[in-house]
Structures are given as structure tokens and as C-alpha cells.
Structure 1
Amino acid sequence: MPFKNGVKRVVVNLTAMALGLAAVAGPSLANQEADHPEVARFPGALIKNYDYKEYEEFQLILAKPQSMPGGGYTAAKLMPLEGKVTYIHYEMPKSVSPLQVFRNYQSSLRRSGFAELFTCERPCTTENLSAFSGLMKARKLYLNYSTDNQYLAAQRNNTYVSLWVNDGGAWLFVVEKEKLNDGLMAVTGESPIAKALGADGKVDLYGFQFDTGKAVLRDGSKPTLQELGKVLQDNPSLSLEVVGHTDDVGGADANQRLSEARAAAVADALSRQHGIAAQRLKTRGVGQTVPLAANTTEAGRAQNRRVEIIAQLPDTATKAAPASRAAPAVQPPTPNTAAAQPSGTPATEQPKPRNLLEDANKAVEAAGKLKNLFGL
């Protein structure tokens, strides 16, 4: 009996620890590794893979997938969607069957007011789910397993569900259809700098003039400084990241320090001469590491010596800045104005946060096993 009481204390403590982990995970993992609020979790299921995008495309399958002669899959009826896309892969308890899971999801969704748009009973297909990634526009998200494939698509108002169930678990996509908010990088103004920031969120400026190896702005920089200051004055919610770039003349360490000093000089001049609050201006330097052209000619080196301006509005200021690569450029062939030349920018991938919710899942599961083992 003392042993059993001791075990009970262990189970109670373990359960409390699991609940504590879940409480910590809840608020800190909003939209990260958590159940979607409109689709219930199957009892005992654990989240194994998760992804959330504020705005993405997805495609509902509304007819049985068919292979194409040239490879890949298609379906007679598809529904393209765009909006918030949540992907969750659940691992199921070993004691339940894919059929049991699928039927329960059907019932749960119906009780929640979802209407089925299409159902494909087992075996809907014998292919590995990864074969349908392109058909669903599921990007490179993890899809796997092929035994007992079952599929359904459902809708409630502007929320759509795409669900595969097989021997590898449940593969859930929830799409909250909505229009794209394309004003996140909106910058007003008719100047070349304002237009470039409004269209692309960033711009390369060549009008800031420095002596070789120096970080003191020359008088010839005033037109560009004035134009950029006016953009900030006309857009009071706009913040900027000022990024210095150099060519490869000289040592890499010296160029890094020089790029940082030149970015700081621009920010300081905007604050002192145009009254821009310092907290609206972030600075950094990348030295010679992000060239736009080969440094083998003077023309190429001149293209690489620049100050890059990256817009940061309130909705995006806390997110990672776009990679400093191939920004549209504002050249200074004539005073005060220049042409913007946009080009693409690769996205910066963020490291995945620690899966606290899975820790809580495992702790709760361990507590349950101890209870069953000792008959508590």
C-alpha cells in the first residue's frame, strides 16, 4: 500500500507538470503547434507536424484523384482557395483504426455545422499522400503513408477543411478564406523613393555620398536625404531599417565596420536634420557580403556601394526584415530624383520554436499510462 500511495503521488505530480506545460504552451504558442479552434482533436492524438501561414493558397480536392499520363495527379473537380492556412499532422493512439478516426471526424465536423463537399472512402487511393502535395498546393509540408487512405472536404461559412486519414494519422488543413491585405507595406508619396518603398518594401539608394573609406556624409547627399526625410514625415507610422553596403576593396572586417558606420551616419542625419525619431530608424551593415554586381569593374563596384532602405510598418516591424538582396534601386544621375528598378528578394526562414505543446502531450500520456498500470 505505501508503494501504491507513492505511485499515486508521482502520477499526480506528473499530471500537474503536464497541465502546467500546457498552460505555458497555450498563450506562448498562439497559431504555433496548437489545435485549430474550429476542428476538435481526436482523443489521445498528438501533434507531430505543424505549419501556419497568415496568407497562402490551397486547393480542395472534390473528386477522386487520378494519375496523369505524364506523371502527377489531377481531379475532375478542384476548389482553389486563398487565406489563412493551418496544417496539422496528428499521430493517433495505437489502439484505434484509421476508419474509427475518420468516422469520428465526420461526426464531429457535422455537429460543428460543417457541410461535406466531398468524401472519398477507403481505399480512396493506394498512393503515398506525398503524391498529392502539388494537387493540393501543399508546398513542401510533410505528407506520408498510403494504407487505408480516406479523405473529406467540408465547409462552414468561409472556413474550409481538407482531411486525409490513414495508418500514419490524420492530416488536417484548415483554410480561412479571406482577401489579401495588400496594404502591409503601403507607403504614400509621389517621389521615386516613396513609390519604390510602396511597391517593393525596399529600395537601394546611391545618392548618399561618402569619401573613400569614410562615413561622413558629403554635401551632395542632401537631395537624397531630404527626399527620404519627407517620406518619413509623410508616413508617420513608417519605420525604416538602414543597411550599409560596400564593394570588396579593402579588408572584409574593415568593410563591415565601414558599412555599419555609413548606415548610422544616414540615420543620424535623418534625426538631426529632419526631426525623425531615432526609434523609427534601425541600422546595420553587411559590408561586402551582398553584392549586386561583380566587383571586377568600377561600374560593378559603384553598384555595390549603396545604402539599402527597408520599410517596416507596424504590422511587419516585429518580423524578420527581408533579405538584403537585389532591392529596387534609386540611382542619382540627376539631383533629387531617380528611377526605381525592382527585383526579387528571397524570404528569410525563421527557426522553428520549441514544441512545448508536444512536451505537454507526452507528459499527459505518461501520466495516463501510470494510472492504468497501477489501477489508480
Structure 2
Amino acid sequence: MRKHGVMAALSGGLVATLVAGVVAASQDIDGAGDHPDVPRAAGSHIVYQDHVDFDRVTVPVGPYSRDGFEDVEVMEGEVLSLSYVFDNPDVATLRVKRSYLQALEERGFEILFKGSEDELSGGAGRLFFRESGLYERGARDCCRIANRDRQVRYIAARSGKGDVLAAIAVFNARGVEGPAVSKAIVTAREMDATMDHQPLTAGEMETGLVQDGRVAVQNILFAVNSAEILPESIEALETIAELMRDRPEMNLLVVGHTDNTGDYAYNVALSLERAQSVVSWLAGEAGVARERLQAAGAGMMAPVTTNRTEEGRARNRRVELVERGGDA
């Protein structure tokens, strides 16, 4: 989920067709910003952003056919997904594509592949866009390829140091006046496999609930952008079940929390779905009476620390237990 300093504005010296992020920042969705190495096109603003701490991303670097993509590049690391629309609906997709090409080359990026419409795939690039799997969330939350006159254009580029891989799609969008741009940008890093938080015992959970009325459980983990509970969460879930068995009079509110990356409504919904998954596991796998548990989603509304650092965002992504009365 994680922004890698993406709020940085662009430095000077770019081509005239690209501008610093601060120019359009007032129209960006809350908390959104550009990747520091990949600028935006002039007159565009961010309508969708998603950030994942660590993932493996496959970027097409060749056209798509029934046999799949001709070639791909794979990178593991921090993933930033962005979608933009334009203030001027008459801006041409070709102009936007060439602006990105020029700006990337000036920043030392190697252009791995570029193409437009039928150069990409059948359906004037529609199959390429869909089968890449890179823009599904952005298309769903903001803009989908137009049914006609799609003008799909694409660039895959790698930074001179080899640590940033960018896939940029420019296209005419359904429900949007003028073109849209969707980006998937991977910044190489190794996964931190260490656990940042020691698992709480049932006694420690009880102490937190008695003293503070709530306790944060950091070791309940979920798949990226999903309410699917990961296997490494089982120890923490079993500890909660142990607490509920030891304290049969206790009733809990299970509250999901996210960091501030992405859309407010999406985060609230995701946090509730994750809390519901925990309740379902405790009721189904551990036999805790469902009436003793209630799920709630706080989204990004109650951070425990700053969201401006990766460490802070990791702490803010959590499940909290809150003691409640039995008649709630």
C-alpha cells in the first residue's frame, strides 16, 4: 500500500510541455503527488492514486498477440499507480505521449518500448491495455478506455540507474472530456521480511483493553488491496481467540485502519472489509460467538503516527480491538 517521497515537485529544466507538480496540485485528489523521477504532463491533475509497499510487477515491452506479450520486464519493489485527466479536453494524445518521451529521455531514462493503437494489439490497443493488468484499478476508479477513437498510446521506460521502471498509457477515456494518462511505476527495493512488531500475548491485549479501552494488533496482515487474511496472521488471531475464551464476559469492536494512501471512500470500505474478515475468522475458525464481535472500518481517520514516512504508514495499517458493552 507507501509513497516513496512521491510528493516531491518536479525540478526545473524540463521541456516546455511538462511542468512541476505544484502547478496542478490544487486539483489533485487529497494526499496525491507525482513520482519524483516521472513528471506529469502540463495541464493534468491526479484523479486516482494507489501505493503498494512491495510487489512484483510485470511491464510489457513489446506488443500483445494471442500468444501473449512479445517481451516483458519484471521488477520487484515499491509500486505507485496514478491516473490523470486534463483541464483542456482538446489536448492530443500524441502530444502527451511525445511530451513524456522527451521528458523521460532528458532525465536519462531508456525507452524500452513505445507504440500506439494497432502497434500494441488488436482492438486499437484495447487488448494490450487490458491484458497488461497494470491499469485495472485506475480504470475502475477513474476512467476506462473509450469505446471508439481510443487512441491508446504506451511507453515503457527504465531509469539510467535501472532502479525505476515506468509503464505509461495515454488514451481517450470513457466518461472523461479529453485524454487520460495512467501510470504504473516501480521503484526497486528488497522486501523487508523482518517483523517490526512483537506478537502480543493475550495478557498484553487484556491489559491494553483495561487500561486504554483499545489495543492495536499490528500482526494481522492482508493481501495488497484486499481483505484476504495472510497466513502469517494466524498467531495473532489465535491470541485474540484465547483472550475471548479467557474473558467470556468481554465483547469487542474490531476496527480496521489504513494509511492515507488513495481514495478516502475506498480506504473506509477496505478497512471495514478487513475487520469483517477478522470477525469471520474468529467466529468460524475459533468458535467465538459472533454476537460478541462487531466490525467497523475507520479507514485513514485515526492514524497513530505520521503518514509521511513508510514506517509511519506501516504502523497506521492495523487492526484495533476496542472493548464494548454487551448490548451494543
TMscore range, shorter length: 0.5 to 0.7
| 1:139-150 equivalence runs, <5 A | 140-142=137-139, 143-145=144-146, 147-150=150-153
- Residue correspondence of structure 1 range 93-112 to structure 2 within 5 A: 93-112=88-107
1:233-259 deviations in Å (ceiling 9; x for gaps): xxxxxxxxxxxxxxxxxxxxxxxxx32
Deviations 1:97-142 (A, max 9, x none): 1111111110010011111111214543434647634434555331
- Cross-structure match for 1:259: 251
Q: Residue type matched to 1:135 in 2?
A: S
CA distance in 1 between partners of 2:48 and 2:243 (Å): 47
Alignment of 1:1-376 (within 5 A): 22=25, 32-68=31-67, 74-92=68-86, 93-124=88-119, 125=121, 126-127=123-124, 129=126, 132-138=129-135, 140-142=137-139, 143-145=144-146, 147-156=150-159, 157=161, 158-167=163-172, 168-185=179-196, 187=198, 200-201=232-233, 202-205=236-239, 214=249, 258-260=250-252, 290=280, 292=282, 303-304=287-288, 316-321=314-319
CA distance in structure 1 between the partners assigned to 2:151 and 2:244 by the alignment = 67
Q: How many residues align?
A: 216
Q: 1:115 to 1:305 in 2, by over 3 A?
A: same
Alpha-carbon RMSD across the aligned residues, in angstroms, is: 4.5
Compared CA separation, residues 110 and 292, structure 1 to 2 (3 A): same
Distance 1:54 1:213, change over 3 A: closer
Distance in 2 (alpha carbons) for counterparts of 1:95 and 1:212? 65
* 1:87 CA drift (Å): 1.4
The 1-side partners of 2:247 and 2:104 are apart by: 67
How far off is 1:165 after superposition?
1.4
Distance 2:157 2:245 in 1: 61
Deviation, 1:172, is 1.6
Q: Would you say the 8 A contact 1:130–1:144 is kept in 2?
A: no
Moved over 6 A (4+): 209-212, 305-308
Question: In the alignment, is the contact (CA less than 8 A) between 1:128 and 1:144 conserved in 2?
Answer: no
Secondary structure of the 2:74 match is strand
**CA pair 130-36 structure 1, distance change in 2 beyond 3 A:** farther
Q: Deviations over 1:281-318 (max 9, x none)?
A: xxxx99x9546466xxxxx8x7427999xxx9x75332
Question: Which residue of 2 is the match for residue 363 of structure 1?
Answer: none
Q: Unaligned stretches of 5+ in structure 2?
A: 1-21, 173-178, 200-218, 221-230, 255-274, 294-303, 305-310, 322-328
How far off its partner does 1:208 sit?
A: 5.4
Q: Which has the higher helix share?
A: 1
> What is the identity, as a one-letter code, of the residue corresponding to 2:169?
W
Distance in 2, matches of 1:89 and 1:20, equals: 17
1:79 maps to amino acid: E
Secondary structure at the counterpart of residue 104 of structure 2: helix
Unaligned runs of 5+ in 1: 1-18, 69-73, 189-196, 215-257, 264-284, 295-299, 324-376
TM-score by length of 1: 0.46
**What is the CA–CA distance in structure 1 between the aligned matches of 2:247 and 2:52, rounded to whole Å?**
45
- Following superposition, the deviation at residue 144 of structure 1 comes to 2.2
In the superposition, the TM-score normalised over structure 2's length comes to 0.52
Q: Secondary structure at the match of 2:168?
A: strand
Percent identity between the two aligned chains: 16
